[in-house]
Amino acid sequence: MAFQKVWCALALGFLLPFSCAHTDFFTSIGHMTDLINTEKDLVVSLKDYIKAEESKLEQIKKWAEKLDQLTATATKDPEGFLGHPVNAFKLMKRLNTEWGELESLVLKDMSDGFISNMTIQRQFFPNDEDQTGAAKALLRLQDTYNLDTDTLSRGNLPGVKHKSFLTAEDCFELGKIAYTEADYYHTELWMEQALKQLDEGEVSSADKVYILDYLSYAVYQQGDLGKAMALTRRLLELDPEHQRANGNMKYFEYIMAKEKEANKSSTDSEEQQEKETEVKKKDYLPERRKYEMLCRGEGLKMLSRATVHDPETGKLTTAHYRVSKSAWLSGYESPVVSRINTRIQDLTGLDVSTAEELQVANYGVGGQYEPHFDFGRKDEPDAFKELGTGNRIATWLFYMSDVSAGGATVFPEVGASVWPRKGTAVFWYNLFPSGEGDYSTRHAACPVLVGNKWVSNKWLHERGQEFRRPCTLSELE
């Protein structure tokens, strides 16, 4: 009876074509012939299972071969490989998203060794925040260096060692991240790129319906109602029953009708409306435009996760406008650092005994430091109170590596760009001899487009400079 109950359970599981109510099969050859058909169905089901497993293993094998080649290339030159921002983004995406999908695919049939190893290693994987950060870095590079989505997607960046490209699914992911940030400008750009690659025949898991859904809404949010309607129509051609698209179309038609009515009595020109739409897409401050021009090396003068000071608390904190990691090195810890400090003192004529420790910084994917001052302004008197050495009188900045593209230090107020070159340095005074801040020293570190940027800097303070750089009679001399 136990065997019969198990067999009935199997039969139900495979939807076999007979009832388990009658179990006396041995009493009739006719009934036993049903078992032959049942076994045949079981074999068919087993073959389907094997085929599915083989297909799954084939996917896993292709994934392993692809990753084997990729990691072999990456481990030969890790910094050079990650110097390409697309490679950095895709690494974050693979470890945060794609390896998880692979785990789900093989979970039921993988050995305990793989699962336990995944559990241990997962704590070291990047998370959603890392993936989003890498994506936002790509968007920042796109804006700063005026890169169109097709150029970035195909990896056609200057000075790259390891060319990489974005799939339609990657572009879709970038568009979604921009969407979650309410950045409809970049949502439109990357959803359009994903759609373009699919239209060109790229085989992808990305779905045109989903892409058009995001795209039409992003376009509508930027004020282009006509284009939003056209995109929604295309979506409905693919999926006529799409509930949200049908609702949106009715709403768009209602808004369009209202606008036509309003335009009859409106005096605004189409040209003015286009300008307003463009302003919605990119509304940068003049300094931001100047900063980006200097980062690109356009016009003006051309010269041959870190912390910042919080002006309110006077303490060190992280900030979204500085994307790098840093460490502080003391002269007593290393004779090399001590010699560097001595050389800075000899070259500048300033006392380094009251200076801050040598800071070494490495900028990550799209690493940057937006326009800022090194010195404390009058409205933040406690900026360096904890140091007890006065304000930052001067800055010395070493370039410790060459950068393939981007990464310049720019001074928007004077229109100057200094490009990273290993073994060179730049020095400037942050304060006038009177102690007043020199606001023309406002500067920024441009995003690293391709490569790996290492710098070190020394901030020298007022205390100890009384006789080395005496105060003058004029406040701004």
| Site of tokens 């373009």 | 196
Measure the CA–CA gap between 65 and 159, rounded to whole angstroms: 27
**pLDDT surpasses 70 at 108:** no
**pLDDT surpasses 90 at 176:** yes
Mean pLDDT throughout 202-217? 94
Measure the CA–CA gap between 358 and 329, rounded to whole angstroms: 5
Q: Are 220 and 179 in contact (CB under 8 A)?
A: no
Predicted pLDDT at 305: 39
Higher pLDDT, 198 or 55: 198
Predicted pLDDT at 112: 54
Percent of the chain with pLDDT over 70: 78
Predicted pLDDT at 23: 46
Mean pLDDT throughout 378-393? 85
- DSSP structure string for 406-471: E--EEETTTTEEE---TT-EEEEESB-TTS-B-GGG-EEEPPEEES-EEEEEEEEESTT-TTTS--
Predicted pLDDT at 312: 55
pLDDT tens per residue, range 249-275? 999 998 888 888 777 665 555 555 555
Predicted pLDDT at 318: 47
Mean pLDDT throughout 416-420? 93
**pLDDT surpasses 60 at 281:** no
pLDDT tens per residue, range 291-320? 888 888 886 574 443 444 455 555 545 444
Percent of the chain with pLDDT over 90: 43
Mean pLDDT throughout 452-467? 93
Mean pLDDT throughout 428-440? 93
Measure the CA–CA gap between 161 and 450, rounded to whole angstroms: 9
**pLDDT surpasses 50 at 143:** yes
Mean pLDDT throughout 427-445? 93
Mean pLDDT throughout 410-435? 93
pLDDT tier at 442 (50, 70, 90 boundaries)? very high
**pLDDT surpasses 70 at 152:** yes
**pLDDT surpasses 50 at 414:** yes
Higher pLDDT, 279 or 441: 441
Measure the CA–CA gap between 181 and 173, rounded to whole angstroms: 13
Smallest CA-to-CA distance from 349 within 407, 427, 419, 410 is with 427
Higher pLDDT, 178 or 370: 178
Predicted pLDDT at 319: 47
Mean pLDDT throughout 374-392? 86
Predicted pLDDT at 109: 55
Measure the CA–CA gap between 77 and 375, rounded to whole angstroms: 38
Predicted pLDDT at 337: 93
Predicted pLDDT at 450: 87
User: What is the 3-class SS of 40-98, one letter each residue?
Assistant: HHHHHHHHHHHHHHHHHHHHHHHHHHHHHHHHHHHHHCHHHHHCCHHHHHHHHHHHHHH
**pLDDT surpasses 70 at 341:** yes
**pLDDT surpasses 70 at 445:** yes
In angstroms, how far apart are the furthest CA atoms of the chain? 120
Question: Lowest-pLDDT range, 4-18, 51-65, 343-357?
Answer: 4-18
User: What is the rounded average pLDDT for all residues in the chain?
Assistant: 81
- Quick check: helix, strand or coil at residue 130? helix
Measure the CA–CA gap between 370 and 267, rounded to whole angstroms: 41
> In sequence order, what are the residues at sequence separation of 6 or more whose Cβ sits closer than 8 angstroms to the Cβ of residue 97?
131, 173
**pLDDT surpasses 60 at 26:** no
